[in-house]
Amino acid sequence: MAISAFSSSRANGRPTPPPYTILIMNGPNLGHLGERQPEIYGSQGLDLIPAMVQQLLGERAAEVELSFFQSNSEGRLIDRLEQAREEGVHGVAFNAGAYTHTSLAIADCIAWIGLPVVEVHISNVLARAEKIRRTSFMGESVLGVISGFGLMSYALAVQALHAHLRAVP
């Protein structure tokens, strides 16, 4: 799935691509947000994220182009990260779901591709009952972690990536 959420335009009316392309990635069991355990993950879907980013970034939202990818498969997530590197994607907001806590393979990929990745969680993984959710294999290689703000976690991750990309040429 790829959705371009924002675009900017020049005074002459010709569209110009926004400078920052940000990929929002979701791992296993995150393809049915809104239906899955709404008491934990809320009752709304990913389609709300562009509006949330718009709210957080205001006019600067035009500087960001969002695309989305979800897979339940560890290998496909790694393939997408490698593809993002080849495409020159500027940053990734990545909710790897349970793979966060188990996948050395995804962590290895993030460690070498050289893209800024923000680890995202809808729930506050530190406050969850299962101790394993406090472990993140990818934690060492990501730019930072945003956890516990519901769907807003994704928009906050995009805001953080935007600020990072503006600050680091």
Q: Which of 64, 97, 117, 157 forms a contact with ligand DQA (CB under 6 A)?
A: 97
* Residue 111 in contact with ligand DQA, rule: CB under 6 A: no
Burial of 120 (0-12, 13-18, 19+ CB in 10 A): buried
User: CB of 79 within 8 A of CB of 48?
Assistant: no
The least distance separating ligand DQA from the CB of residue 9, rounded to whole angstroms, comes to 35
* Residue 103 in contact with ligand DQA, rule: CB under 6 A: no
Site string for ligand DQA, 7-36 (x = CB under 6 A): ----------------------xx------
Burial of 13 (0-12, 13-18, 19+ CB in 10 A): exposed
Beta strands in 12-164 (DSSP E): 15-16, 20-26, 64-70, 91-95, 117-121, 144-147
The least distance separating ligand DQA from the CB of residue 12, rounded to whole angstroms, comes to 43
The least distance separating ligand DQA from the CB of residue 27, rounded to whole angstroms, comes to 7
Nearest position to ligand DQA, beta carbon: 97
